[in-house]
Structure 1
Amino acid sequence: MSSIDAYQFVEKISMDECSESLLYCDKQTNIKYIVIKIRLHYESQNQNNWAFREVELLSKLSHNNIIKIYKSFTEGQDLYIVTDYTDSGNLSQLISVRAKANDPFTETEVMFYFVQILFALKHIHDNQIIHRDLRPKNILLTKIVTGNIQRQQVKLGGFHQAKVQEQLELEQVGNPSYQSPEQLLENGYTNKSDIWNLGCVLYELCTFCLPFSGQTLYAMFTKIKQEKHKSIDSKWFSKELSAIADSLLIKDPEIRPSAKELLELPFVQKWITILAQKQMIDKELLETQQ
Structure 2
Amino acid sequence: MDECSESLLYCEKQTNIKYIVIKIRLHYESQNQNNWAFREVELLGKLSHNNIIKIYKSFTEGQDLYIVTDYTDSGDLSQLISVRAKANDPFTETEVMFYFVQILLALKHIHDNQIIHRDLRPKNILLTKIVTGNIQRHLVKLGGFHQAKMQELDLEQVGTPSYQSPEQLLENGYTNKSDIWSVGCVLYEMCTFCLPFSGQTLYALFTKVKNEKHESIDSKWFSKELSDIVDLLLSKDPEIRPSAKELLELPFVQKWITILVQKQMIDQENIETQNLRE
Q: TM-score range by the shorter chain?
A: over 0.9
Deviations 1:128-155 (A, max 9, x none): 0000000000000002357998642000
User: Retained in 2: the 8 A contact 1:90–1:137?
Assistant: yes
**Structure 2, gaps ≥5 residues long:** none
Determine what percentage of the aligned residue pairs are the same residue: 91
Select between 216-225 and 197-206 the one with higher mean Cα deviation: 216-225
* TM-score under structure 2 length normalisation: 0.94
CA deviations over 1:170-212 (Å, ceiling 9, x no partner):
2211111111100111111100000000000000000000001
On the 8 A contact 2:154/2:175 being kept in 1, the answer is no
Distance 1:130 1:215 in 2: 27
| 1-structure distance, mates of 2:130, 2:145 | 22
Contact in 2 for aligned 1:184/1:225 (Cα 8 Å): no
1:236 maps to which residue?
221
Q: After TM superposition, give the deviation of residue 27 of structure 1 in Å.
A: 4.7
| Deviation (angstroms), 1:80 | 0.5
Q: 1:265 to 1:134 in 2, by over 3 A?
A: same
Q: Provide, for residues 14-70 of structure 1, a one-character-per-residue CA deviation record: whole Å limited to 9, x for no partner.
A: x63232222222355432111111111111111111111111110110100000010
- Structure 1 window deviating more from structure 2 (29-38 vs 203-212): it is 29-38
RMSD: 1.7
Structure 1 distance, partners of 2:136, 2:58, is 30
How has the CA–CA distance of structure 1 residues 255 and 170 changed in structure 2, closer, same or farther, with 3 Å as cutoff? Answer: same
SS of the residue corresponding to residue 145 of structure 2 reads coil
1:225 to 179, 187, 210: 210
Contact 1:132 1:173 survives alignment (8 Å): yes
Structure 1 unmatched runs, 5+: 1-14
**Cα gap change, 1:108/1:147 in structure 2, threshold over 3 Å: closer, same or farther?**
closer
Q: Is the 8 A contact 1:200 1:211 kept in 2?
A: yes
Question: Match of 2:251?
Answer: 266
Name the CA distance, whole Å, in 2 between partners of 1:124 and 1:245.
Answer: 21
Q: Structure 1 residues 164 and 225, CA, compared in 2 at 3 Å: closer, same or farther?
A: same
Q: 1:8 corresponds to which residue?
A: none
**TM-score, structure 1 as length reference:** 0.90
**CA 1:145–1:208 in structure 2 vs 1: closer, same or farther (change >3 Å)?**
closer
Deviations 1:71-94 (A, max 9, x none): 000000110000000001100000
Q: SS state of the match for residue 160, structure 1?
A: helix
Bigger shift: 205-214 or 37-46? 37-46
Counterpart for residue 200 of structure 2: 215
Higher relative contact order (CA 8 A, sep 6+): 2
CA 1:287–1:254: 2 relative to 1, 3 Å: closer
Quote the Cα distance in structure 2 between the aligned partners of 1:177 and 1:27. Answer: 42
